[in-house]
Chains A and B, each alone.
Chain A
Amino acid sequence: MTAPEIAGGPGAAPATPEHLGGRGAWWRRLPVVRQVRQSVGLQRGMLVAGLVLCAVFVVTAVGARWIAPYGWSQLRTPDGTFGAQQPPSAEHWFGTTVGGYDVLSRVVWGAQTALLVVIVAVLASIVVGVLLGLVSGYFGGWADRILVLVADAVYAFPSLLLAILLAIVISGGQSSMWGGVLAAALSITVVFVPQYFRVVRAEVVRIKSEAFVDAARVLGTPHRRIMTRHVLRNSVRTLPLIVTLNASEAILTLAGLGFLGFGIEPTAAAEWGYDLQRAVADVTSGIWWTALFPGLAIVLAAMGMTLVGESLNDLADPRLRVRARNRKVAGSVAATSVATAPAGESSAAADPKEDS
């Protein structure tokens, strides 16, 4: 929003507004690309590191079938069985597990399971949380109070315990791949819904009292239209930040469930938490490769998403955003005045930050 670009008066040829492509190539304005360009120094380093980790995670998950040398439950090739607890070698780069699976393949396929769970969990909690938060915040009243109470109660409950409970209820103890993914995802959903509910509700309550909602009410706009057109879109701006942070939490919860034995059977899908649990006994006997690689995968995936979330969070807040300081007084005076442009107030709200 540089002032000169929008300073074209009614008399002058108006400059192209920025949303119509007045600001360079289109790809520069894509959500994440814009933030990378905006950031400097350490903030940019964190964001780029997080993005790289996330990209590796997603590529591994999507391309598992081409990347993994073997299947997740494969125990033998035509040449013979893999053998249990084999150290890393040319055939098995990360070695094999106590059950005789290839560690590298399990780690790669595990990424796919993790990605599916994250996507299902986040989508489900967004849909439920946003819907409840919107209705509850907009109409208020006793329904709102009860929902807030329930959300608080869920908050107070230990989240992993709740997830275990739901995993048992949903999957009944045994699991196919999709059954296990859904069980894990939905139990994570229940833990996350209160977060989305509270954030959206708080935003809706704030937006509800803004003048533009009053303006819509004066027109006699129906409630449904006010909610969808005016309130909803303005109250979900912070969600992408929570999503990235929650995604990493979802990976950790999934691993926790798997570690405690409430995850997915090894024959149904690969799952990092389960592998880690099976590796516990190996560690004391000096077999490091079965625990290290799944553990590393969990840490890197969770860290990548947290880094992205935290840096996006900081960049979205103008007070936390670091800008490159100019050493000398530079730049031109923004055209903020109206008096010298007789054709009308041709200037624009140049930069509210500069005058307080």
Chain B
Amino acid sequence: MSTPVARIDELAVSFATDTGPVRAVDGVSLDVAPGEVLAIVGESGSGKTVTAKTVLGLLPATATASGAVVLSGRDGTETDVVHVSAGELRQVRGRDVAMVFQEPSTALNPVYTVGWQITEGLRAHGRVSAKEARRRAVEVLRTVGIPDPEQRVDHYPHQFSGGQKQRVVIAMALVLNPGLIVADEPTTALDVTVQAEILDLLRSLRDSTGTAIVLITHNMGVVADLADRVAVMFHGKVVEEAPVADLFAAPQAEYTRSLLGAVPRVGEGTARAEARAAARPEGWADADPVVAAEHLTITYPGRFRRPGFTAVDDVSLTIRPGEVLGLVGESGSGKTTIARAVAGLQPVTDGSLRVLGTQMRGARGRALADMRPRLGFVFQDPATSFNPLLTIAECVAEPLVVHGRASSPDAARGRVDELLEAVQLPRSYGDRYPHELSGGQRQRASLARALALEPELLVADEPTSALDVSVQARVLELFAELQDELGFACLFVSHDLAVVDRLADRIAVLYRGRLVEEGTGAEVLGSPREEYTRRLLASLPVPDPVEQARRRAQPTPSAASHASGTNA
């Protein structure tokens, strides 16, 4: 057990870019012991993915690496991945080290059966008879918990659900029994309930096969759940390396402390919501709601006489003036569809949806003209929600110009500067182009644009899901401040319970287009009535290894429905 399966020694990597070399990894030294789960955490750009890719020799042609990454195979051979020929590198991959990718739907080739893809690794590393290869594929599929592996081995990737696809990807990594698996954000693309299952699987695989896992992630909950040891990366360097319990209990580095402080936790927002509820004026509940949906149904039309797909099914909810409603659900639950319908981007099929007094069902162009300036929208991906050819000031001025409050972007500059300062961006940033801002800055500018007309209602569709944890914390804080100050009502859509809890007065939980539970944060998160909400809460990993171990020890509520719900 003494020799590490991977030893990274003074690794440095730089990339040739259009503006000269950029260093991504700067003198990283790490050891991975057999059977150990080492988590590498850090925000995007910290070099964690590049470090992981170097271990497999997957760097692009523009990269230059120095230092050493020595892999020890199960048979005791040692290979330095950085200074090895392409042929030897192929030998090492799969046998000594394998990779689990972030997005299972793109990591699998859609035109081959999963069995073929699993056995491809066997064929690449020596002669195996077709029968033997198939036997090994079935065996490894059973190991990763795919039911009926004898039949499923001949199925194509699209016949599996997202979580099962990730299991197949893990099976592909496992088939040659490597000493080390590198998992790059293995659960980021998955829903929380599925994420919990994949984390369970990785843990049991480590225990049964003794393979070491290098886990790349930005999710501190996942780290607390799975890791034995954590390396925190920042600016291409390892700033702290500690066993998981020590790291969470007593972080040494300043950066680690701020990173942990930024992680949202369920239950933080309860006090704030209660204080806000108490401060409401008399008769507030009787005021005209800003959004009133009654039996709202939205269907996407099917093609070629196939039945349409019902994305939102009989949902009724209201948002009163100045209230923040958090809409939570997994992917495909219809939360974004509701947000788009409220903004008039998606036609309503059935039921009634009144937004700011306008009936949205059947409404066209002119009927919406009155409501449009009173509504703001913040999009999920700050990278695409700005016209790349306009400066930030021009983008923010756009609503003012369109609605005749200013004759030109230049004339609106005074107001734009005020707005930028309100979202804590310096005035000079108005002259920059969107690509010159970071994700968090862009999302602030997006907020400034949405608030330009002082709307009564703000629709925010996953505004922080594309951001790093520490950036997310700041944007959420800013959001809460502005909401307190300006008093707009808000529909806040997110897949993350902890994020919603931080801001929302009331939380609505969606499951497959239906509204399963609605209430204040304390009600929904504190004592959930519905089975699904309980499962959602139980699956959410807590960024605290001790608490997470305790939760793991006790059985999750109704493990049976847990499994059936996600395999569908």
Contact = CB atoms under 8 A, between A and B. Distances in A.
Contacts of B12: 329
B23 interface: yes
A197 to B, nearest CB: 22
Contact of B372 (A218, A329, A337): A218
A331 B23 contact: yes
A123 B426 CA distance: 43
B14 A217 contact: no
A84 B148 CA distance: 90
Interface stretch (A46-54, A110-118, A155-163, A341-349): A341-349
Nearest to A225: B402
A307 to B, nearest CB: 22
Contacts of B381: 211
Interface of A: 1-3, 6, 10, 14, 17-20, 38, 210-212, 214-222, 225, 229-230, 233-234, 321, 323-340, 344-345, 347-351, 353-356
Which of under 10, 10 to 19, 20 to 34, or 35 or more describes the interface residues of B? 35 or more
Interface string B70-108: 000000000000000000000000000000000000000
Most chain-A Cβ atoms within 10 A of its Cβ — which of B255, B381, B390, B398? B398
A338 B440 contact: yes
B369 interface: yes
A214 B345 contact: yes
Contacts of A217: 344-345
B403 A215 contact: no
B436 A329 contact: no
B385 interface: yes
A344 B13 CA distance: 28
Contacts of B395: 212
Contacts of A1: 19, 435-436
* 9 nearest A-B pairs in the assembled complex, by CB-CB distance: A336-B45, A331-B21, A220-B372, A211-B385, A333-B236, A330-B21, A211-B384, A329-B12, A218-B377
A215 B449 contact: yes
B321 interface: no
B556 interface: no
Given A324-B16, A347-B438, A218 B345 contact: yes
B368 A354 contact: no
Contacts of A349: 435-439
Contact of B49 (A221, A351, A356): A356
Interface of B: 12-24, 26, 43-47, 49-50, 61-62, 64-66, 234-237, 254-255, 258-259, 343-345, 368-369, 372-373, 375-377, 379-381, 384-390, 395, 398-399, 402-403, 424-426, 428-429, 431-433, 435-441, 449, 468, 470-471, 474
Contacts of A17: 431-433, 436
Most chain-A Cβ atoms within 10 A of its Cβ — which of B62, B234, B237, B431? B62
A330 B435 CA distance: 25
Given A1-B435, A218-B377, A323-B18, A339 B387 contact: no
A351 B432 contact: no
Given A212-B384, A217-B345, A339 B255 contact: yes
B24 A2 contact: no
A212 B45 contact: no
Most chain-A Cβ atoms within 10 A of its Cβ — which of B15, B46, B425? B15
B502 to A, nearest CB: 18
Nearest to A344: B424
A229 B402 CA distance: 12
A321 B62 CA distance: 11
A335 B432 CA distance: 18
Contacts of B22: 3, 331-334, 350-351, 354
Given A233-B389, A339-B259, A354-B50, A215 B20 contact: no
A221 B61 CA distance: 45
A220 B345 contact: no
Contacts of A347: 438
B398 A330 contact: no
B49 A20 contact: no
Contacts of B377: 214-215, 218
Contacts of B345: 214, 217-218
Nearest to A356: B49
Contacts of B436: 1, 6, 17-18, 348-349
A86 B333 CA distance: 85
A138 B240 CA distance: 52
B388 A234 contact: yes
